[in-house]
Amino acid sequence: MSQLEDIRRYVGSVREETEDIARRVWDYAELPFEEYKSADLFKKALAEKGFEIEDGLAGIPTAFLAKCSVGTGKPVFGLLAEYDALDTLSQEAGLTVRKPVKEGAPGHGCGHNLLGAACYGTAVAVRDYMKDNGIDGTVIFFGCPAEEGAGSKQFIARAGYFDDVDFCYTWHPSNYNEVGNTGSVAIMGANFTFEGIASHAGGSPHLGRSALDAAELMNIGVQFLREHMIDQARVHYAFTNAGGTAPNVVQDHAALKYEVRAPKVSQMKELFDRVVHIARGAAEMTETKMDYEITMAFSDYIGSPALSEMMSACMEECGAPVWDDADYEMARNMLKSYNEATISNIRETLAERFGADKVDELMEKPLHGGVIPYERVKNPVYKSGSTDVGDVAYASPTVMLNTATSCLGNVGHTWQNTSFCGSRIGMKGMMKACEIMTLACIRTAQDPALIAKARAELLAKNGGHYTCPLPDDVLPPVGKY
């Protein structure tokens, strides 16, 4: 029996409970930092399998780890599980028309139910395989909540939990099968507040100092900044307090929320400082007081090149999920739920990825049935999303892969994705991710030279250690994000 066939047997033995966990977490659909039922489900299942639980990592009640050692306990490796849902995306599983399970309730529109469950299946299958085959190592399942909120992995990394971890693997539900190196960017979010002096805007305007003017001047300053920043950077803002609704009052209070993104964490921090300078200038111009509070930050994600190459080879060996007629039918029908603009966008993307001559055929059978070669993944096109997996990747060599759990061109954070992530298509993609990660964990644990190479690459990238982009006094915003 080949090693892959053997590993498939181990993955097969955890399949039923992995799918059951995925369905139950999908049902719970809990919001960031509120994932108590989901975390308890994972903790209970892992404890029953002999894993040792450490609860409340970095002061976050729904963050935990579950670890199990075999033999010498070296190397140490982690699986990064998520299980938070998105607001208002409740939707019946497997349906291709909009029908919430509960109107306005949260739903798993990013597939984190599948993400967490595949990490569970991998942790157990890997541990069992190691035990039966005399392979040493420690498997750690990291329960990481609130990826869709303020994130948790940067706090867990800041607390040092990844310092002695030799490598980390994770995955994300997707439309494609590929080793993810999608170039997620760094992000920092902050609240800016301005305090002025209230006055009658008609009777005594000269006595007032407008916080609203300061907020507007800050925004204008940032508009001018946009000409002088790198192309890939983004600065977003929203008014969270415009000072009230009465024009005849000089507003003494105003607040803005800003988010700054850039490809590298160093570029992001530099740009954020420039935004703070502008805010100070706006306060100076209006004789108001400015204060700001950083609320969130993620590092950019760059997967470990050495481990990505190995992971990609494992993926090609395992192959894509196997789809049947019922899967293709659901996928085809789901495409019909998108409007014309989205469909033409999907067709363009497919043409870019697979060639214009393939588009009609793919739209007829819209589920990815191949594996995108690593050569094409190595130089990713710029993407402007962000994830807290980036922070782990600066602390320990990390790889995130993608498997297809939804139709080609499916849009994330939609009811359509909630439907896929509770369906048999989602389960098939999840079990494929479980198989690939299990194979990769075993191969890596048996290859000290590869682990050393990945560590050397990481040290060159992070300057010797992980630095959290958040100031030390920024605590996890549990219950207030």
Rule CB under 5 A: which residues touch Zn ion? 110
Kindly provide the residue ranges of all beta strands, DSSP E only, lying in 332-420, ordered along the sequence.
398-404
Three-state DSSP state, 359? helix
Comparing C-alpha atoms, which of 191, 149, 172, 179 is closest to residue 298? Answer: 149
Spatial contact of 197 and 97, defined as CB atoms under 8 Å apart? no
User: Nearest approach, Cβ of 80 to Zn ion (angstroms)?
Assistant: 12
Q: Which is nearer to Zn ion, 110 or 346 (CB)?
A: 110
Comparing C-alpha atoms, which of 222, 213, 241, 183 is closest to residue 379? Answer: 183
User: Nearest approach, Cβ of 109 to Zn ion (angstroms)?
Assistant: 9
Measured N-to-C along each axis, helices 3-28 and 112-133 cross at an angle, to the nearest 10 degrees, of 150
User: Nearest approach, Cβ of 115 to Zn ion (angstroms)?
Assistant: 7
Instruction: Tell me the Ramachandran region of residue 249: left when phi exceeds 0, alpha when psi lies from -120 to 50, beta otherwise.
Output: beta
User: Nearest approach, Cβ of 451 to Zn ion (angstroms)?
Assistant: 27
How far is CA 12 from each of CA 116, 217, 322, 463, rounded to the nearest angstrom? 17, 60, 15, 41
User: In terms of C-beta distances under 8 Å and separation of at least 24 residues, what long-range contacts does 4-7 make, across chains too?
Assistant: 4/317, 4/318, 4/439, 6/129, 7/125, 7/129, 7/435, 7/438, 7/439, 7/442
Kindly provide the residue ranges of all beta strands, DSSP E only, lying in 104-196, ordered along the sequence.
137-143, 167-174, 178-180, 186-195
Q: Which is nearer to Zn ion, 128 or 391 (CB)?
A: 391
Q: Which is nearer to Zn ion, 41 or 110 (CB)?
A: 110
Comparing C-alpha atoms, which of 298, 304, 268 is closest to residue 155? Answer: 298
| Radius of gyration of the chain measured on its C-alpha atoms | 24
Q: Which is nearer to Zn ion, 85 or 278 (CB)?
A: 85
Q: Which is nearer to Zn ion, 107 or 137 (CB)?
A: 107
Tell me which DSSP letter residue 205 carries: G
Q: Which is nearer to Zn ion, 286 or 387 (CB)?
A: 387
Spatial contact of 25 and 173, defined as CB atoms under 8 Å apart? no
User: Nearest approach, Cβ of 426 to Zn ion (angstroms)?
Assistant: 13
Q: Which is nearer to Zn ion, 9 or 383 (CB)?
A: 383
Query: Using CA atoms, how far apart are residues 119 and 124, in angstroms rounded to an integer?
Result: 9
Q: Which residues contact 451 (CB under 8 A, 6 or more apart)?
A: 75, 166, 167, 397, 444
User: Nearest approach, Cβ of 110 to Zn ion (angstroms)?
Assistant: 3
Q: Which is nearer to Zn ion, 182 or 396 (CB)?
A: 182
Query: Using CA atoms, how far apart are residues 143 and 35, in angstroms rounded to an integer?
Result: 10
Q: Where are the alpha helices (DSSP H) in 256-339?
A: 265-286, 305-318, 325-335
Task: Fill in the amino acid letter for 339.
Answer: N
Query: Using CA atoms, how far apart are residues 15 and 342, in angstroms rounded to an integer?
Result: 35
Q: Which is nearer to Zn ion, 110 or 179 (CB)?
A: 110
Q: Which is nearer to Zn ion, 108 or 443 (CB)?
A: 108
User: Nearest approach, Cβ of 442 to Zn ion (angstroms)?
Assistant: 26
> DSSP letter string over 8-64?
HHHHHHHHHHHHHHHHHHHHH-PPTT--HHHHHHHHHHHHHTTPEEEESGGG-TT-E
User: Nearest approach, Cβ of 231 to Zn ion (angstroms)?
Assistant: 26
User: Nearest approach, Cβ of 147 to Zn ion (angstroms)?
Assistant: 6
Q: Which is nearer to Zn ion, 110 or 255 (CB)?
A: 110
User: Nearest approach, Cβ of 392 to Zn ion (angstroms)?
Assistant: 14
Q: Which is nearer to Zn ion, 79 or 110 (CB)?
A: 110
User: Nearest approach, Cβ of 313 to Zn ion (angstroms)?
Assistant: 25
User: Nearest approach, Cβ of 152 to Zn ion (angstroms)?
Assistant: 13
Three-state DSSP state, 334? helix
